[in-house]
Structure 1
Amino acid sequence: MCGGHDSKAGPNTAGKEGAMRFVLATLGSAGDVFPMVALGRGLAARGHAVWLLVNGHFEAIVRGEGLGFLPLGSAADYEAAMRDPRLWDARRGFEFVVEGGMLPALPAAWDALAAFDPADTVLVASGLVFAARVAQEARGFRLATVHLQPSMFRSVHDTPVYDQLPLGPRTPRWLKRLAFAALDALLIDRLIAPTLNAFRARQGLSSPVRSVFGGWMHSPELVLGLFPDWFAAPQPDWPVATRLTGFVRYDAAAMTPPDAALEAFLAAGPAPLAFTAGSAMRQGGDFFRAAVAACARLGRRGLLLSGEPDALPPLPDTVFAVRYAPFSTLFPRCAAVVHHGGVGTAAQALAAGVPQLVTPMTHDQPDNASRLARLGVAASLPFSAVTAGVLAEALSGLLARPTLAERCRDCARRVDFDAGLACALDAIEALAAC
């Protein structure tokens, strides 16, 4: 039972046969939380009681959608992490996320889950919420591990692009296996395993785990990849319980009031080039300055999506800035989208049928950029290489491709957010019925 939590926060399931309780948990920014909100809304619409275990920064959105809210860190913690430049450092970013996010969340998430009964509660969690996996092992919770991006699935076949491992398609499989083993020993397990195994031992799990990312983090019951097989095809060495659902979407469109100034700008001229460095980026000043200058060089209108308006340069009449706008309604009205490579932003741009210039920094972004380029809808350049001239040249070359429009239209036809959500919900409900 959920003693100690606000039972009114979840929907009333009284009288609905088969109704269950679900706790959805994730770490990270809006790109990580919004897909969980989509799943939570869907489960609630099917009559289940749903709680989201996420950072306090997202409390208003979660409660606004009628879902139960469980805090996993404070809004102040979130803002401090987003402002730390180590978050986007290719060499230090993973260590920062582990030591500043994953490991501190372990006892906090465990305590939140302690109030729930595994007999009537199913966990749906990011693989980075280690407490959910430990709760499955120690307490018998049913668990669906959720991965938003293909890079969370290791493979020696179609190997994702990783900052730490320069493995190409011609790299022998034996060498890839050796590289993954070295990555575990020298970085991932070195950072995570001592704390994780000590915590597991306190819960009565005496056998230590190795290869945390290579195997343990994936639930043996169900692993959901929230992307379609044409974005990343299943590989023979993925977890056997993996199911790809297709993309899901949530961008708070219903909770975002109309922006009259934005609407006036969009209606006043040709479709602009949209620029975003992601909701979590707090060091985007140089990027946006380069964007403004690139628009001037190209003779194009520009739209800047930035949560840090004070960091923006003075804007000409041909460039408009906004803190936030739902991508589902905005991107179809843009000529192209220049973005960081987050999988949620990429999916929205694919659905809108617009070209993409991806400027990846680290984490999953380089792999997402590579997959978009393979689809023929995007070009890519490192975030660190962005200047006005480089941006202008890359955009000019991208938009001049003769097959670009056709490739974008083809991908747009293939994106079905409703089908992706339904597939994910069906799989989660099937797990709950076991």
Structure 2
Amino acid sequence: MRILLATTSGAGHFGPLLPFGAAFRALGHDVRVAAPRSFSAAVVRAGYPYLPCDDVPADEIAAVYEGAESKSAAEQNLMAARVFTDLAPRAILPGMLAAFADWRPDLLVREFGELGSFIAAEVNAVPQIQVLVGLRRFHDLMKPVVSTHLSPLAEAHGVPVDRLWTLPTASLVPASFDEPGPDVIHRFRADTPSPVPSTQDTPLVYASFGTVSGSIPFARDAFTATVRTLSTLPIRVLVTIGDEGDPADWAWVPDNVRVEKWLPQHEALRGASAQVCHGGMGSVLGALTAGVPTVVLPQFADHPDNAERLAATGAGLRVDTPDTLLDAVCRVLDDPSFRTAAHRVATEIAALPPAGNALDLV
């Protein structure tokens, strides 16, 4: 079967598709990825054939986000939703229609924020599965914005936009971490190696602000302060700085800190006693899957919501400034209840059906 994965240009959006793509390939299916041209290198690096789509012009994005720094978090979320439901589908749809015409996929699996392929699949009567990139609340947030902004484009192609809410919906987020709601969400797990307990007496703390956050100036400053704080503790620290980071900028770290540009997440978490991160869903979910408690210093977007849900499970803590990080990390390392809670969620995740079973939804 030919399966098309479709994503917008963001690692946090592409990441949730990867376990499904890997599982489909393992089952013998032909899997390709359609995405904006700016994201082509990430697709190729992940090992998938790439089908091109256009990016949203930078000036259009700038116009939507004008004055964002003075807006509330809720208003900023609505700005982002406007990009996903209006600007991005208009830019991406021509490439998606070409991909369907040229390659003729049998199934579309798209991350929820990518809506151009939704229209293309409906036009071509191709079944589709949508994969949530985070908590259910962002799915719910999109509903009124989709009705306002996507409807004209969808209806111009003969697609009723309400069809979006009837599609099979998959998620890698376990129910205990998510929120209740009326829509049915089918939950799956990634095929990742089993957690490995530490064999050393000195605790290991893994610190990362994700693939994007570490390159944004205000987040980079918070990350540097985080690593400085961690380096003062009698622990081992593993730091990943992302592809855009320069290890030479970290020459100041003491001997108990190891700096890498990038490592597979399951490898970085191997033997870790705790994680410190920005609150991206990929980082939080990876630690929960490994049974590792986390301290979150939220930066933007869904980070505060993910930190809130993490604290509710008992598997971690939220801090709002690097000044309060030291106490939080010591609490997580010293109080076994955090690891117990993380193990409880890890057990829940391990009991979920594998991502390849998502094919049963169509």
Q: Which range, TM-score by smaller chain?
A: 0.7 to 0.9
Gaps of 5+ in 2: none
**Greater CA radius of gyration, 1 or 2?**
1
State which drifts further: 45-54 or 337-346. Answer: 45-54
Look up the match of 2:154.
Answer: 200
Q: Secondary structure at the match of 2:312?
A: helix
State the Cα distance separating 1:222 from its structure 2 match.
Answer: 1.0
1:275 lines up with 2:218 in the alignment: no
State the Cα distance separating 1:122 from its structure 2 match.
Answer: 1.8
Look up the match of 1:291.
Answer: 226
CA distance 1:359–1:28, change in 2 (3 Å): farther
Look up the match of 2:110.
Answer: 125
State the Cα distance separating 1:324 from its structure 2 match.
Answer: 0.8
1:45 lines up with 2:26 in the alignment: yes
The answer to whether the Cα contact below 8 Å between 1:26 and 1:53 also exists between their aligned partners in 2 is: yes
1:233-382 equivalences in 2 (<5 Å): 234-235=180-181, 237-238=182-183, 242-248=184-190, 270-281=202-213, 282=215, 283=217, 284-307=219-242, 308-309=245-246, 312=250, 314-381=252-319
- Separation (CA, whole Å) in 1 of partners of 2:4 and 2:158: 23
- Separation (CA, whole Å) in 2 of partners of 1:219 and 1:60: 31
State the Cα distance separating 1:32 from its structure 2 match.
Answer: 1.9
State the Cα distance separating 1:53 from its structure 2 match.
Answer: 1.3
- Separation (CA, whole Å) in 2 of partners of 1:339 and 1:30: 16
Residues 238-274 of structure 1: per-residue CA shift (max 9 Å, x gap): 2xxx3422332679xxxxxxxxxxxxxx999833322
CA distance 1:244–1:102, change in 2 (3 Å): same
Look up the match of 1:5.
Answer: none
Count of equivalent residues: 344
1:84-233 equivalences in 2 (<5 Å): 90=73, 93-95=76-78, 97-98=80-81, 102-115=85-98, 116=100, 121-152=106-137, 189=145, 195-204=149-158, 216=162, 218-232=164-178
State the Cα distance separating 1:318 from its structure 2 match.
Answer: 1.9
Look up the match of 2:339.
Answer: 405
State the Cα distance separating 1:345 from its structure 2 match.
Answer: 1.5
State the Cα distance separating 1:317 from its structure 2 match.
Answer: 1.7
CA distance 1:217–1:26, change in 2 (3 Å): farther
Residues 311-360 of structure 1: per-residue CA shift (max 9 Å, x gap): 65721222222111111112122221011222222222112222210122
CA RMSD of aligned residues (A): 3.8
- Separation (CA, whole Å) in 1 of partners of 2:206 and 2:249: 17
The answer to whether the Cα contact below 8 Å between 2:43 and 2:49 also exists between their aligned partners in 1 is: yes
Q: Secondary structure at the match of 1:231?
A: coil
Q: TM-score, normalised by structure 1?
A: 0.67
CA distance 1:318–1:26, change in 2 (3 Å): same
CA distance 1:249–1:366, change in 2 (3 Å): farther
Give aligned-pair identity as a percent.
24
CA distance 1:204–1:375, change in 2 (3 Å): closer
State the Cα distance separating 1:75 from its structure 2 match.
Answer: 12
CA distance 1:199–1:408, change in 2 (3 Å): closer
Q: Secondary structure at the match of 2:222?
A: helix
Gaps of 5+ in 1: 1-19, 156-179, 210-215, 252-265
CA distance 1:37–1:407, change in 2 (3 Å): closer
1:24-43 equivalences in 2 (<5 Å): 24-43=5-24
The answer to whether the Cα contact below 8 Å between 1:351 and 1:411 also exists between their aligned partners in 2 is: yes
